[in-house]
């Protein structure tokens, strides 16, 4: 069932062409990255065919769930992701400085076939958009290292028993 959402490059008859894709959750595997999609991915793309390149200007909408870095609570990211990707044929990729391909602000990919797998494009963009550390809220207090209590909800007493590290250091000097 998966892998059927393709953009056929040869079917692009106009210089600029808009299209829409809906990619089912199960077509995008982000499980190993700790991301779970909670809704199908809606993607709108404007394809711009150039002399030596194909640019995709797109927008992705979905609900991506990941865990708070501190307390592990689920965090949903639902803001639309805007992206630009440039495709060039292998023979045009970085071949000479005169060629217009490879501007800095665009991601450049090599076009290896006549079809672009849009589920893969969406997967890459979702990964790029996801910060390495996501927090449920900026001042999340996380979990207690000792008892695992969610410090946003309760004040466990674990830290009360501890010697203040500054005192411990003084003790070592003496
Ligand atoms: Zn948190
Ligand atoms: Zn505790």
CA of 143 to the centre of ligand 2 (A): 8
Q: What pLDDT shows up at residue 1? A: 44
pLDDT at 10 over 70: yes
Torsional class of 47: left (φ above 0), alpha (ψ -120 to 50), beta (otherwise): beta
State yes or no: pLDDT of 6 exceeds 80: yes
Residue 145 banded pLDDT, cuts 50, 70, 90: very high
Per residue in 85-106, pLDDT (tens digit) is 999 988 887 654 444 544 555 6
Distance 160 CA to ligand 2 centre (A): 9
Percent of the chain having pLDDT more than 70?
A: 82
What's the burial of 61, exposed, middle or buried (CB within 10 Å: 0-12/13-18/19+)? Answer: middle
Closest ligand (CA of 69):
1
Report the greatest alpha carbon distance in the chain: 82
pTM value is 0.79
Predicted confidence (pLDDT) at residue 2 exceeds the cutoff of 60? no
């Amino acid at each position: 069932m998966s892998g059927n959402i393709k953009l056929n490059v040869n079917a692009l008859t106009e210089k600029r062409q808009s299209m829409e894709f809906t990619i089912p959750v199960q077509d995008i595997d982000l499980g190993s990255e700790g991301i779970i999609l909670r809704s199908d991915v809606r993607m709108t793309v404007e394809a711009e065919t150039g002399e030596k390149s194909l640019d995709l200007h797109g927008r992705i909408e979905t609900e991506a769930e990941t865990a708070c870095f501190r307390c592990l609570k689920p965090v949903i990211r639902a803001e639309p992701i805007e992206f630009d990707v440039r495709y060039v044929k292998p023979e045009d990729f970085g071949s000479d400085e005169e060629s217009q391909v490879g501007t800095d602000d665009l991601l450049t990919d090599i076009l290896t076939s006549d079809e672009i797998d849009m589920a893969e494009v969406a997967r890459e963009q979702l990964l790029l958009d996801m910060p390495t550390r996501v927090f449920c809220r900026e001042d999340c207090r996380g979990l207690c290292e000792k008892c695992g209590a969610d410090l946003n909800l309760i004040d466990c007493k674990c830290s009360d028993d501890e010697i203040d590290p500054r005192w411990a250091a003084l003790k070592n000097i003496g």
